[in-house]
Amino acid sequence: MAVAVRARRPAVTSAAGARRREFYSWYFFRVSGLLLVVLALGHFLLMHAVHNILDVDYTFVARRWVSPLWRTYDWLLLTLALLHGFNGLRVMANEYIRPRQARAVATWLIAGATAVFLLLGTYVLVAFQAPGM
């Protein structure tokens, strides 16, 4: 029999906290998805339809990255796509991985991968300087 009186868990770890986070995640998919329609499709069409992949080389990218606007575009695309994608992977891990410990490990790995790719992409976009441009 459970003890009649017990301390309430803090909101971060409680089931109510989890529901709140899942709601934010649900919302984030829709908002980021709509932004990505423009950002991701725009990027893909720019590289494959407006130009062709045969035109893309170091000079092509370096010229784009002269402009801070393009760097910002690329960074927004990077961030939103990574978060949208890895959040989706997290949802799938929650559905398909049954053992609680394994699910926790998977979630931490997903968070770690998100951080690594986000940091790498951000670093490239911030640090790149074409010599003599």
Partner 1 sequence: MVAVTEPASREAAAVSAGPRVDYGMLRLRRLRNREGYLAWVLHRVTGLGVLGFLCLHIVDTSLMLQGPAAYNQLVKNVYQQWWFQPLEVALGAALIYHTLNGLRVILLDLWSGAITHDRTLRRIVAWSFLAIMVPLAAVMVWPFIRTH
Cβ distance 28 to 87 under 8 Å? yes
Beta carbon nearer to partner 1, 11 or 41: 41
B/e letters for 73-111, b = 16+ CB within 10 Å, e = fewer, are bbbebbbbbbbbebbeebeebeeeeeeeeebeebeeebe
Q: How far is the CB of 89 from partner 1 (least distance, A)?
A: 7
> Using CA atoms, how far apart are residues 67 and 121, in angstroms rounded to an integer?
17
Q: How far is the CB of 94 from partner 1 (least distance, A)?
A: 4
Residues interacting with partner 1, by CB under 8 A?
Answer: 15, 18-19, 22, 25-26, 30, 33-34, 36-37, 40-41, 44, 48-49, 52-54, 56-59, 61-62, 78, 81-82, 85-86, 88-89, 91-92, 94-96, 98-100, 113, 117, 120-121, 123-124, 127-128
> What is residue 83's DSSP assignment?
H
Q: How far is the CB of 12 from partner 1 (least distance, A)?
A: 16
Beta carbon nearer to partner 1, 40 or 76: 40
